[in-house]
Amino acid sequence: MKKLMEKLGIENIDELFDDIPEEIRIDGIDIPPGKEEIEVEREIVSILKKNKSFEDMPSFLGGGIKPHYVPPAVRHIVSRSEFYTSYTPYQPEFSQGMLQSMFEYQSVICELTGMDVANISMYDAATALGEAARMSKRVSRKDVFIIPKNISWEKKSVLANYAKNAGIKVEEIPYDREGRADISALEKYGNGEVAGIYLENPNFFGIIEDRIDEINEMKEKTGAMVVMGVDPLLLSIVKPPSEYGADIVIGDGWMGNPMNFGGSRLGIFSCRKEHIRQMPGRIIGATVDKNGKRAFCMTLQTREQHIRRGKATSNICSNEALCAIAFVSYVAIMGRDGLRSVAIKNMENAKYVASKLSSIGFETPFSRNFFNEFVAIPPVDAEALNEKLLKNGIHGAFMLGQHFPELRNGLLYGVTEMHTKETIDRMVEMTREAINDV
């Protein structure tokens, strides 16, 4: 510092801060002084020790996020510091690696969803829903956006914030006796009244959507855009949302990204070509360099805030780019057939848990096929059951009662490839014991 100060001809560093008015000058911050690396590491490790991870305590929580395996190769790829220490690729000639990976991510999303275009990510699935509602209004110039009653309360809350200041009215349709969005409730809306309808596959109760014709018919009748929220893994084995009539497909892009307490995951966002000008977020395109060689760059930027400012389709700037690299490398490592086997494993494991629970007196209120989550009602108080399990080192399923009073004692189980037969059997055995005790 001394050398630089001499070169600049200043004696006191504060000369460089002269513009700050005296009245508000401070000298230092009221936090402890800096620590050695080794101390910081110790301190953080000792705080984090108070957490119980999936390794410490198997969990059967669902509700959108679930544990999944992250192959070591994926970690290795996203740990390349040329990737993770770069900024948004404003200089394409120095960012071809990131840009090509992002282009591949978009390609993979489009293949899974059947959509024509995907952006490089939204912040998460909930903000993606908010952006989708706004986009459906921009495209249709209508004000009503419809959601099923059974989506997560977090999504509803975020959606409300994105919708209300855009003049969008969010209305709910109930779910039917089988736990599916009751699309017959849409009959009261006339053609052209609705901007968009949000459906999920699988839905919040884990149920796989199979009403392809009905949804397409409903779309025709209402003239609304269909927004579909998906688990990308399920899409490896079921027909893409495009066949269900979807115009926008969103979702939690968990692939390659750990649970992370719910953060640092991406929001999938993809749509049909005809609506691309109304799409939010960054898009990567292929082009050529001046010698005619294939190259990639950010494109269609006239939708974005740095060009359109207040009139942009969204304010998003930084997104979840590295999570998208994790996603595309996950898909590449697993491969088509690997993805499909994991999807099937998820479904089989969940079925196994459900049948075991049925055998010890649980009710499953919805008879439809489910993917890797399902609702079950224990023969005893759900909260008491969960407390017992927790004491025994197992985290029980998500209690639905608080948000769905009609399912007061309901539990939402999440089961994936991470749950071994031994873990499942141990959980079921402890559940059986708990039922007898409670």
Pick out residues in 366-425 that bind another protein (CB under 8 A): 369, 386, 390, 395, 398
Among 183, 325, 354, 415, binds another protein (CB under 8 A): 325
Whether 324 and 99 have beta carbons less than 8 Å apart is answered as no
By the rule CB under 8 A, 288 interacts with another protein:
yes
Of residues 312 and 360, the one with the C-beta less far from another protein: 312
Residue 187 in contact with another protein, rule: CB under 8 A: no
DSSP 309: G
The total number of residues shown for the chain amounts to 438
Distance CA 347, CA 355 (A): 12
Name residues contacting ligand PLP, limited to 306-345 (CB under 6 A): 317-318
Q: Is 227 in the site for another protein (CB under 8 A)?
A: no
Nearest distance in Å: CB 27, another protein: 7
**Residue from 11, 23, 405, 436 binding another protein (CB under 8 A):** 23
Binds 222: which of another protein, ligand PLP, none (CB < 5-8 Å by kind):
none
- Residue 72, preceding bond cis, omega within 30 degrees? no
Q: Which range touches another protein (CB under 8 A), out of 139-147, 174-182, 311-319, 422-430? A: 311-319
Q: Are 280 and 119 in contact (CB under 8 A)?
A: yes
177 or 311, CB closer to ligand PLP? Answer: 311
27 by DSSP, 3-state: which?
A: coil
Cα four-point dihedral sign 428, 432, 437, 438: positive
**Dist. CA 205–CA 244, nearest whole Å:** 19
Q: What is the DSSP letter of 275?
A: G
103 binds, among another protein, ligand PLP, none (CB under 5 to 8 A by kind): another protein
Residue 202: is the preceding peptide bond cis (ω within 30°)? yes
Q: Give the CA count within 13 Å in the CB-facing half-sphere of 250.
A: 29
Residue count, binding to another protein (CB under 8 A): 186
Among 141, 177, 188, 261, binds another protein (CB under 8 A): 261
Q: Which of residues 49-68 bind another protein (CB under 8 A)?
A: 49-57, 59, 61, 63-67
Report how far residue 32's alpha carbon sits from residue 38's, in angstroms, rounded to the nearest whole number: 16
**Residue closer to another protein, measured from CB, 155 or 180:** 155
Q: Which of 247, 318, 243, 253 is nearest to 278 (CA)?
A: 247
- Least distance in Å: CB of 319 to ligand PLP? 8
Examine residue 436 and tell whether it contacts another protein (CB under 8 A). Answer: no
- The answer to whether residue 91 forms part of the interface with ligand PLP (CB under 6 A) is no
DSSP-derived 3-state class of residue 13? helix
Q: Does 253 bind another protein (CB under 8 A)?
A: no
Q: Which residues bind ligand PLP (CB under 6 A)?
A: 317-318
